[in-house]
Amino acid sequence: MTVRERLVRWEDPAAAAEQGLALAGLDYLRGMIDGALPHPPICATLGFRVAEAEEGRCVIALEPGEHQYNPLGSVHGSVVVAALDSAAGNAVHSVLPAGVGYTTVDLTTTFLRAVTAQTGTLYCEGTLIHAGRRIALSEAKLRDAEGTLYAHGTTTCMVLGG
Protein backbone atom coordinates (compact mmCIF):
# COMPACT_ATOMS: atom_id res chain seq x y z
CA MET A 1 0.00 0.00 0.00
CA THR A 2 1.37 3.40 -1.00
CA VAL A 3 0.71 6.18 1.49
CA ARG A 4 0.16 9.66 0.16
CA GLU A 5 0.33 12.92 2.04
CA ARG A 6 -0.91 16.47 1.51
CA LEU A 7 0.10 19.59 3.42
CA VAL A 8 -2.52 22.33 3.68
CA ARG A 9 -1.61 25.90 4.63
CA TRP A 10 -3.87 28.89 5.11
CA GLU A 11 -3.91 32.36 6.59
CA ASP A 12 -5.99 33.59 9.53
CA PRO A 13 -9.59 33.55 8.24
CA ALA A 14 -10.84 36.00 10.91
CA ALA A 15 -8.40 38.69 9.84
CA ALA A 16 -9.32 38.24 6.16
CA ALA A 17 -13.06 38.35 6.96
CA GLU A 18 -12.57 41.56 8.92
CA GLN A 19 -10.71 43.13 5.99
CA GLY A 20 -13.43 41.91 3.66
CA LEU A 21 -16.21 43.65 5.58
CA ALA A 22 -14.61 47.00 4.75
CA LEU A 23 -14.73 46.25 1.00
CA ALA A 24 -17.48 45.94 -1.56
CA GLY A 25 -17.93 42.29 -2.53
CA LEU A 26 -16.34 42.67 -5.96
CA ASP A 27 -13.28 44.39 -4.46
CA TYR A 28 -12.93 41.58 -1.91
CA LEU A 29 -13.04 38.92 -4.67
CA ARG A 30 -10.55 40.85 -6.80
CA GLY A 31 -8.28 41.15 -3.76
CA MET A 32 -8.18 37.35 -3.54
CA ILE A 33 -7.41 37.06 -7.25
CA ASP A 34 -4.50 39.53 -7.18
CA GLY A 35 -3.12 38.16 -3.89
CA ALA A 36 -3.77 41.24 -1.76
CA LEU A 37 -6.20 39.15 0.35
CA PRO A 38 -5.94 35.46 1.17
CA HIS A 39 -8.44 32.92 -0.10
CA PRO A 40 -10.52 31.36 2.69
CA PRO A 41 -9.17 28.10 4.17
CA ILE A 42 -11.76 25.97 2.35
CA CYS A 43 -10.02 26.82 -0.91
CA ALA A 44 -6.74 25.26 0.28
CA THR A 45 -8.55 22.31 1.83
CA LEU A 46 -10.62 21.45 -1.24
CA GLY A 47 -8.25 22.61 -4.00
CA PHE A 48 -9.97 25.58 -5.57
CA ARG A 49 -9.49 29.33 -5.93
CA VAL A 50 -11.29 32.42 -7.20
CA ALA A 51 -9.97 32.84 -10.75
CA GLU A 52 -12.17 35.61 -12.19
CA ALA A 53 -14.68 38.10 -10.85
CA GLU A 54 -16.79 40.85 -12.31
CA GLU A 55 -20.14 42.32 -11.39
CA GLY A 56 -22.67 39.47 -11.27
CA ARG A 57 -20.13 36.76 -12.23
CA CYS A 58 -17.43 34.70 -10.54
CA VAL A 59 -15.29 31.79 -11.77
CA ILE A 60 -13.79 29.23 -9.39
CA ALA A 61 -10.92 27.05 -10.70
CA LEU A 62 -11.01 23.54 -9.18
CA GLU A 63 -8.03 21.16 -9.28
CA PRO A 64 -9.40 17.62 -8.85
CA GLY A 65 -7.12 15.19 -7.06
CA GLU A 66 -7.01 11.84 -5.26
CA HIS A 67 -7.26 13.57 -1.87
CA GLN A 68 -10.87 14.44 -2.79
CA TYR A 69 -11.89 10.86 -3.69
CA ASN A 70 -14.88 8.99 -2.32
CA PRO A 71 -14.83 5.20 -1.75
CA LEU A 72 -15.81 4.60 -5.40
CA GLY A 73 -12.67 6.25 -6.81
CA SER A 74 -13.96 9.61 -8.02
CA VAL A 75 -14.05 13.11 -6.56
CA HIS A 76 -16.64 13.27 -3.80
CA GLY A 77 -19.82 15.13 -4.74
CA SER A 78 -19.40 17.46 -1.78
CA VAL A 79 -16.30 18.96 -3.44
CA VAL A 80 -18.33 19.68 -6.57
CA VAL A 81 -21.17 21.13 -4.48
CA ALA A 82 -18.72 23.36 -2.58
CA ALA A 83 -17.37 24.73 -5.88
CA LEU A 84 -20.91 25.34 -7.21
CA ASP A 85 -21.99 27.01 -3.95
CA SER A 86 -18.85 29.18 -3.88
CA ALA A 87 -19.13 30.33 -7.49
CA ALA A 88 -22.87 31.03 -7.26
CA GLY A 89 -22.52 32.72 -3.86
CA ASN A 90 -19.60 34.82 -5.04
CA ALA A 91 -21.66 35.97 -8.03
CA VAL A 92 -24.10 37.36 -5.45
CA HIS A 93 -21.26 38.76 -3.33
CA SER A 94 -19.88 40.60 -6.36
CA VAL A 95 -22.84 43.02 -6.35
CA LEU A 96 -22.99 43.67 -2.61
CA PRO A 97 -21.69 46.89 -1.01
CA ALA A 98 -19.16 46.99 1.84
CA GLY A 99 -20.48 45.64 5.13
CA VAL A 100 -23.16 43.51 3.50
CA GLY A 101 -22.89 39.72 3.45
CA TYR A 102 -24.95 36.76 2.32
CA THR A 103 -25.67 33.18 3.22
CA THR A 104 -26.94 30.26 1.17
CA VAL A 105 -30.56 29.42 1.93
CA ASP A 106 -30.96 26.64 -0.60
CA LEU A 107 -28.84 24.90 -3.20
CA THR A 108 -30.00 22.52 -5.90
CA THR A 109 -27.38 20.46 -7.72
CA THR A 110 -27.42 18.21 -10.77
CA PHE A 111 -24.39 15.98 -11.39
CA LEU A 112 -23.85 15.04 -15.04
CA ARG A 113 -20.54 13.14 -15.06
CA ALA A 114 -17.88 11.89 -12.68
CA VAL A 115 -14.83 13.97 -11.83
CA THR A 116 -11.44 12.27 -11.31
CA ALA A 117 -7.85 13.40 -10.88
CA GLN A 118 -7.43 12.81 -14.63
CA THR A 119 -10.24 15.24 -15.51
CA GLY A 120 -7.90 18.23 -15.27
CA THR A 121 -8.73 21.72 -14.09
CA LEU A 122 -12.43 22.48 -13.93
CA TYR A 123 -13.96 25.94 -14.07
CA CYS A 124 -17.11 26.73 -12.15
CA GLU A 125 -18.81 29.87 -13.44
CA GLY A 126 -21.35 31.50 -11.17
CA THR A 127 -23.82 33.97 -12.67
CA LEU A 128 -26.26 36.24 -10.86
CA ILE A 129 -29.86 35.79 -12.00
CA HIS A 130 -31.62 38.21 -9.62
CA ALA A 131 -30.50 40.43 -6.75
CA GLY A 132 -33.25 41.74 -4.52
CA ARG A 133 -33.03 43.68 -1.29
CA ARG A 134 -33.13 40.50 0.85
CA ILE A 135 -33.03 37.54 -1.56
CA ALA A 136 -30.69 36.81 -4.48
CA LEU A 137 -30.75 33.98 -7.01
CA SER A 138 -27.77 32.70 -8.96
CA GLU A 139 -26.56 29.63 -10.82
CA ALA A 140 -23.24 27.90 -11.43
CA LYS A 141 -21.96 25.56 -14.13
CA LEU A 142 -18.90 23.33 -13.70
CA ARG A 143 -17.06 22.71 -16.99
CA ASP A 144 -13.70 21.39 -18.14
CA ALA A 145 -11.31 23.34 -20.39
CA GLU A 146 -13.12 22.06 -23.50
CA GLY A 147 -16.49 23.26 -22.22
CA THR A 148 -17.96 19.86 -21.24
CA LEU A 149 -20.55 20.31 -18.49
CA TYR A 150 -19.97 18.22 -15.32
CA ALA A 151 -22.52 19.74 -12.92
CA HIS A 152 -25.04 22.55 -12.60
CA GLY A 153 -26.47 24.25 -9.53
CA THR A 154 -28.84 27.01 -8.56
CA THR A 155 -28.80 28.80 -5.24
CA THR A 156 -30.95 31.18 -3.28
CA CYS A 157 -29.03 33.49 -0.96
CA MET A 158 -30.26 35.69 1.87
CA VAL A 159 -28.65 39.13 1.89
CA LEU A 160 -27.42 40.03 5.39
CA GLY A 161 -26.94 43.54 6.74
CA GLY A 162 -27.12 46.81 4.89
pLDDT band at 82 (very low <50, low <70, confident <90, very high): very high
In a domain, 2, yes or no: no
Range of the domain at 77: 13-160
Report the CATH number that the domain containing residue 124 is assigned in CATH: 3.10.129.10
pLDDT at 162 over 90: no
pLDDT at 55 over 90: yes
| pLDDT mean over 113-135 | 97
In a domain, 17, yes or no: yes
| Overall domain count for the chain | 1
pLDDT at 74 over 90: yes
In a domain, 87, yes or no: yes
In a domain, 35, yes or no: yes
In a domain, 1, yes or no: no
In a domain, 8, yes or no: no
For the whole model, what pTM was predicted? 0.95
In a domain, 6, yes or no: no
In a domain, 60, yes or no: yes
Nearest one of 32, 120, 124, 28 to 81, comparing CA atoms: 124
Percentage of residues of the chain with pLDDT beyond 70: 99
